Structure 1
């Protein structure tokens, strides 16, 4: 390799590393946003700010008069009138700050993503093949802001809480954004030359990531309906594994998404399915590629899923205590991110500009 070619390769590797670090930081910030969002939901703070002000809303109330104006707006919605009537200013400030922090973090994340992307773009540090995915991610982030307000607006007129369907959409959009960030970041990361355990391993890893994503959706339905408070024992639900006495014939199949007891059962069942699928994947990996990087990552994914199951059980048994519930939600996103990273590792990285594979130890 000539010296100019060597220099070009080094620049490309350096640029990929910089972009990758930025994407990982963005993913970490998104995880923090999700945890704060979970706290906002669990403290019933999500309806405390009744207007959507994408720009001006970044400044919180700074005077007593401004605080009184915000509280007066909150007094107009059903949640205050039917649930929190007579709330003191200090109690209102507690829920207001959770919602404000969630929105502030979301705005900050938008800047943390958009500004470095613009810098990398204009300075020629972005691989052309990831430009469209990054623009797509930026667009999804903007859409997520709209979805957040669409969710909040569902609880401002006729309800005392937000629609659990809209809450699930909001959370799953965050999960999708995280998954795509990890996919792009891992695509420009160096990979090892280990052979895949089987010809179908990458497909199976993709199915696992999708199952975990669906499980997050089911968990969002549970959170949106406070379904985690219906049964607080495990492995039984009352006197059986399936709470048949809670089935409402008039709802039909809608029991699966609208009956809190059945929604909790479906979420539990989803956890068993994910655990069994990941375990089977690990067994196959160890059978055909013992000790490979892919197998160790599959094993780590299994450990994360088991840890998440344990945290989920603890969340149930403690009647959805705030700390356990937040760990459960945050760990769900970590499991998804790792599953996507494992999947991308099996698919392989984007080739370098000269067509070579981006492997560890490349100089």
Structure 2
């Protein structure tokens, strides 16, 4: 994904220039960083809809006309009547007042509206950058691919919601994990390209000042993959509301390995459908990531990568502590959202480390071949 500008050192990338000059690279990278912030906000608002039980309040998917909320009492009553037909209302929320319905409706409407806003905020500047020649064809195609993936993310979100409208009182935890996972992939793609462009505009950074060690690169890559996997495990915890049970630490119901890990006869599905299993898996993932972050920091000492390794370690330790606090408090909304935001920060830190090492290895390989 390396990018170049006219101000960058001459090399193979200059033949496939992807940005017009350093100024264009700075503008496009700033826009992408802003899109990352919006995408992160979208993920957090999605977490809020989950924690407030708002996700099923809108029972139809109208990508265009759905941007307009109910504007009259009659329209509100019509939306409420649709909600009253689904199992969540009939089994969980029977007797809910119209005002209570409006509260959960606004959470879900805000989540969907933010998704539409992100689509516009992405497509319009992309069209301007492409039309003015600020970006080359290669980068434009990558960015347009991200836009299309964002549209698929919206469709996947509806596929998730649809799972809770007929035979369940909640959405499928599998579809929730897929929806969340794709959102994180989109965020990562924009963040990586933004880092590429920032480097193209500013030149080499400190992580590239000394020859890279391949063990550090592979270690950082493993940590980034581990953080992503841990986030997916967290989505299963959210999907089963497993954070509101076994609210003790470090033991679960007085045991390190919970007795209820397998629900009946052991089976593979228990890993994702047993409350005890998904919470234990998430705890175990946190322990492994903490150990990995400590190892990486120790291995990176006295190298140019150490500042990034230290930041990643601090992020992992803070997130682990926040996770324990959230668990002991039985996942109140504020702590639940803070924990989700912390996960995004840790993942971005891990990608930042990998990106620096990737650029360093690219430079070294280019120098050896020249």
- Correspondence 1:304 to 2:315: yes
Structure 1 position 6, deviation (Å): 7.1
Aligned partner of residue 156 in structure 1, secondary structure = coil
- The one of 212, 219, 231 equivalent to 1:216 is 231
Structure 1 position 143, deviation (Å): 0.5
Q: Output one character per residue of 1:167-214: Cα deviation in whole Å (capped at 9) or x when no partner.
A: 010111111111111111111222313225512322221221111110
- Correspondence 1:343 to 2:354: yes
Alignment of 1:1-363 (within 5 A): 12-190=21-199, 191-192=204-205, 193-286=208-301, 288-289=302-303, 292=304, 294-348=305-359
Moved over 6 A (4+): 349-352
Structure 1 position 140, deviation (Å): 1.0
Q: Distance in 1 between matches of 2:212 and 2:319?
A: 25
Q: Distance in 1 between matches of 2:25 and 2:58?
A: 40
Give the superposed CA RMSD. Answer: 2.2
Q: Output one character per residue of 1:58-95: Cα deviation in whole Å (capped at 9) or x when no partner.
A: 00001000000000000110001111111101100000
Give the unaligned 5+ runs of structure 1.
357-363
Q: Distance in 2 between matches of 1:165 and 1:128?
A: 37
Q: Distance in 2 between matches of 1:227 and 1:141?
A: 29
Q: Distance in 2 between matches of 1:207 and 1:33?
A: 26
Q: Structure 2 vs 1, CA of residues 229 and 66 (structure 1 numbering), >3 Å: closer, same or farther?
A: same
Aligned length: 346
CA contact 2:58–2:109 (8 Å) conserved in 1: yes
TM-score of the pair, normalised by structure 1: 0.91
Structure 1 position 218, deviation (Å): 0.1
Q: Structure 2 vs 1, CA of residues 141 and 125 (structure 1 numbering), >3 Å: closer, same or farther?
A: same
Structure 1 position 350, deviation (Å): 12
Q: Distance in 1 between matches of 2:179 and 2:319?
A: 21
Q: Distance in 2 between matches of 1:133 and 1:265?
A: 38
Give the unaligned 5+ runs of structure 2.
1-5, 11-18
Aligned partner of residue 189 in structure 1, secondary structure = helix
Structure 1 position 351, deviation (Å): 9.3
TM-score of the pair, normalised by structure 2: 0.89
Moved more, 120-129 or 152-161: 120-129
